[in-house]
Amino acid sequence: METDRGGTGDPLSATVDAWCDVIDGMDGVLQAFVAGAETTTARRKRVREELRVAHDRWPAGRARPPLFGVPVAVKDIVRVDGLPTRAGSALPPEAFAGGQAVVVDRLRAAGALIAGKTVTAEFAMSAPGPTRNPCAHGHTPGGSSSGSAAAVAAGMVPLAIGTQTLGSMIRPAAYCGVVGFKPTLHRIPMTGVIANAPSFDTLGVFAGDVSMVARASAVLCDSWRPVGDTGQRTLPVLGVPDGPYLEQAGAEALAAFERQVAVLADGGFPVRRVPLFADFARVSDDLFAVNRYEAAQNHAEWFLRYGPLYREQSVATVRQGQAVTRERYEQGLRRRETFRTGLSDATVGVDVWISPAATGPAPRGLAGTGDAVMCLPWSHAGWPSLSLPAGRTPDGLPLGLQCVSRAGSDERLLDRARDIAARIEPAGSGR
């Protein structure tokens, strides 16, 4: 490989130009990247400089880190040195000033290039940004990690960083037809990320396939332990959580899910149907009480100072949180521990829980981000979850299969997901 430190003739430099060309050509319509964060010329110049620095640090002939030269888009609640953070809001960037996020430090230490900031719903709550779904421009890409999911789905970048509080990664991944991975709660340090509700906030990654997700997770997650190759693979036992939770999915999503369950069973995967989440309504109430209370606490000073700049949906979230008593908040936290214990007990004999990743395909319109309900119990537990592309509707909208396993089993989940993806993708991910 030519290595003139990012100059003319370097294949990596040509790649930088190529994906900058893709972003420049597509983002005017999709609006996945934050408008005004930097000009297209400034982006190209900045990333070329990042590439030059990477070449100096890891010259040809030496072992290079796992993400060397990989362009990564970063959700605009994550601080990146040299780029403003606005959290999808009208607040001045100075309100969010601070040191670069640990996740970005790790990306750069692994040789990645920061492609830019991607659109988020305001404060990673529910007020949507302008991003369009690459698969159907009149439909939402989901939220709140809308720009990150869309940037990967459109082929503007191979990897993007998002966050999930309730369903902010799994749902956009399903709507846009990409792989989205939310690790175990706080497995990637949240330092340098604008908080929504710290009891749930989790950093994760979007990519086009499980291999890239695993490659990134290995350098971003704390204490990553690669799964060894034992030679003979045993297919995981899949659990289907029957009951009021699964009934939240729409008819189209449920029908597609049952087809995928049948495909997996025919492919040799043991499938167990387990009655689960009989108290789903109470679990949801506890989750929202904790979420809203923490959101109001985190925004107390900003809301007091900049309240008129908040959008209607964000105002509603803060007001709802202000109405939650400390006693109710602490009750929600206590009951979450009981919920986690019960879920662990129910998981005996199940390796991976599977469910629809969303209630259906991406809804039409950009005024909302869709329903996060299929993610709620897993986010409440803080367990790792993954959305795999799992077919499309007759009119071409993507659907996702959600895969979940115990807290701390991230490595095993991704390893097992390869087998699941290999079986369901031929069924027609549409990619």
Active site residues: 75, 144, 168
Neighbours of 90 (CB within 10 A): 12
Rounded Cα–Cα distance for residues 11 and 2 (Å): 7
Distance in angstroms (rounded) separating the CA atoms of residues 147 and 32 = 4
* Structure tokens that stand for 355 in this block: 């469910």
Q: How far apart are CA 116 and CA 151, in angstroms?
A: 11
d(CA 46, CA 41): 9
Which tokens hold the place of 430? 């549409």
In this structure, what is the dihedral angle of CA atoms 383, 388, 393, 397, given to the nearest 10 degrees?
90
Of how many residues is the chain composed? 431
Q: What would the DSSP string read from start to end of 70-121?
A: -EEEEETTB-BTTB---TTSSS-GGGG--SPPHHHHHHHHTT-EEEEEE--S
Residues pairing with 203 in the sheet? 163
Q: Which two tokens stand for residue 380?
A: 């409440």
Whether residue 89 has a cis bond before it, omega within 30° of 0: no
| H or E segment and range at residue 403 | strand 398-404
Token pair of 224, please? Answer: 């990553």
Angstrom distance (rounded) from CA 237 to CA 353: 9
Task: Bin 180: left if φ > 0, else alpha if -120 < ψ < 50, else beta.
Answer: beta
| 134 closest CA partner among 117, 112, 123, 118 | 118
What b/e sequence results for 104-122 when a residue is b if at least 16 CB atoms lie within 10 Å of its CB, and e otherwise?
bebbbebbbbbbbbbbbbb
Q: What is the C-alpha separation between 20 and 166, in angstroms, rounded?
A: 32
Query: Is 81 within 8 Å of 46 (Cβ atoms)?
Result: no
Residue whose structure tokens are 């199940």: 350
Instruction: Give the pair of three-digit tokens for residue 370.
Output: 């869709």
